[in-house]
Amino acid sequence: MRNPNPQEPPTSQETRMTRPAADADPAPAATPVHHQVLIVGGGTAGITVAARLRRAGVRDVALLDPADTHWYQPLWTLVGGGQAPLRAALRPEAEVIPPGVRWLRERATAVDPVARTVTTATGRVFSYGRLVLAPGLHLDWDGVPGLARAVGHHGVSSNYRADLAPYTWELIRRMRRGTAVFTMPSGPVKCGGAPQKIAYLAADHWRKRGVLGNIRTVLALPEPSLFKVPVFARALEGAARRYGIEVRLQTELTQLDGPGRAAVLTDHATGRTETVRYDLLHAVPPQRAPQWLADGPLADPGSPHGYVKTDPHTLQSPDFPEVYALGDVAHLPTSKTGAAIRKQAPVLVANLLAGLRGRPATARYDGYTSCPLVTARHKMLLAEFDYDLRPAPSIPFLDTTRERTDMWFLKRYGLPQLYFQGMLKGRA
């Protein structure tokens, strides 16, 4: 996945490319350059689609993304919980670009679906036969007053930024007493289980260290339950009780005083606010589509966060049939996860290929998504479900609705291999 905060000064270890990209695009041209398929975004969705298109024999595939580093973001929770090193989550972007794909190292700033063009930050214009939108989403740190200034300091961290995940672990392992607050914002966020997983990992660590009784742990979620699927909600309620976590439902962080270590929590059910003094705060920022998409003609009027209007089954734009979207930026009624992308990508590619051949889109996505819910150092349950919130288990003979050690090892070691060696190569 792309660098989550490209405005930050990157470290040389994390972002230096180990080799040049053979297909990297040269200096800007004076006239628009046409590609049969143009993919915006070099994260999970963009790379997976590019690899599948190349394996299907599409010759002219271009991928637009300026990032040097590709991140496997699901591992950041384990980094923040002290269970994985940050280096295990990254690869140089040059190493994951599929062979034969032209890498355009630029940032998109506008799309014109009538003219079939995409404009970049340098003013360069690319035209396309088919467009795949997969730029991810924008972390709106300014969406909560005080959060942008405080994060990374004053005991405030977030596993939603790669550079801060190690700081989360530093705060957790140093804590012996006091108050820890874990929050989640309203609206769609990527990996909706991540805001509470780190609370369980922290509490499990404190329990093992014998200090859990000295720490007040508050988990504030804007949803009416811990999870939308009842069977998994019950399992998470049990985990929260086990650790003595104060669960505040329909509640979110609405203001932060970093230097004063004071978090304002608003209960949307009653309208009441409470100021909680904290020693540790793990905050998840509000999230939305990149502004150039939110302000453009492809944004869904029904999405207050600017996500792309997308047919939930074909992953095609209802208004512009040459445009497709998947991953975090698509306005779909399912959780934004890498597992969802793994099921979306083959559907999108099949329908895109059908379009190139003048045939109707017949492949269907059923909304499958998966949330690996880590509840302890070596315990996890795997929440798999579809658009109708029906459990959709994919591993035979295993009850993944309860906490299991083998599921934790799957997340820590199995899924990263499936990601780098399977998804990103168009094989899984």
Each residue of 293-302: pLDDT tens digit?
999 999 999 9
Domain that holds residue 258: 141-286
Classify residue 382: in a domain, yes or no: no
pLDDT at 14 over 70: no
289: nearest Cα among 377, 363, 190, 178 = 190
pLDDT at 62 over 50: yes
pLDDT at 177 over 50: yes
pLDDT tens-digit series, residues 311-321: 999 999 999 99
Strands 178-183 and 280-282, how do they pair?
Answer: parallel
- Mean pLDDT score, 183-210: 96
pLDDT of residue 233: 96
Classify residue 94: in a domain, yes or no: yes
pLDDT at 7 over 80: no
Classify residue 35: in a domain, yes or no: yes
Based on the fold, state whether residues 194 and 128 are members of the same structural domain: no
pLDDT of residue 397: 86
Domain final residue pick, 265, 286, 307? 286
- Mean pLDDT score, 322-347: 97
Question: Is residue 312 classed as helix, strand or coil in its secondary structure?
Answer: coil
Based on the fold, state whether residues 198 and 147 are members of the same structural domain: yes
Based on the fold, state whether residues 62 and 197 are members of the same structural domain: no
Q: What is the pTM of this model?
A: 0.91
Based on the fold, state whether residues 70 and 200 are members of the same structural domain: no
Based on the fold, state whether residues 166 and 258 are members of the same structural domain: yes
Classify residue 173: in a domain, yes or no: yes
Classify residue 63: in a domain, yes or no: yes
Exposed/middle/buried for residue 198 (C-beta within 10 Å: 0-12, 13-18, 19+): buried
> Do 199 and 76 form a contact (C-beta atoms < 8 A)?
no
Number of domains in the chain: 2
Classify residue 391: in a domain, yes or no: no
Based on the fold, state whether residues 318 and 338 are members of the same structural domain: yes
> Do 328 and 361 form a contact (C-beta atoms < 8 A)?
no
Domain final residue pick, 233, 252, 286? 286
- Mean pLDDT score, 1-18: 35
Based on the fold, state whether residues 232 and 114 are members of the same structural domain: no
Enzyme catalytic residues = 191, 371
Based on the fold, state whether residues 309 and 248 are members of the same structural domain: no
Classify residue 201: in a domain, yes or no: yes
> Do 333 and 385 form a contact (C-beta atoms < 8 A)?
no
Domain final residue pick, 286, 306, 336? 286
337: nearest Cα among 24, 133, 98, 44 = 44
Based on the fold, state whether residues 61 and 78 are members of the same structural domain: yes
pLDDT at 4 over 90: no
| CA pair distance 354, 343, nearest whole angstrom | 18
pLDDT of residue 10: 34
Based on the fold, state whether residues 261 and 334 are members of the same structural domain: no
pLDDT at 8 over 50: no
pLDDT at 124 over 70: yes
Based on the fold, state whether residues 84 and 145 are members of the same structural domain: no
Dihedral, 44, 47, 48, 49 alpha carbons, nearest 10: 120
CATH label of the domain that carries residue 29: 3.50.50.60
pLDDT tens-digit series, residues 386-414: 999 999 999 988 899 999 999 999 999 99
pLDDT of residue 30: 52
pLDDT tens-digit series, residues 24-45: 554 444 588 999 999 999 999 9
pLDDT at 162 over 60: yes
pLDDT of residue 31: 81
> Do 137 and 328 form a contact (C-beta atoms < 8 A)?
yes
Based on the fold, state whether residues 19 and 121 are members of the same structural domain: yes
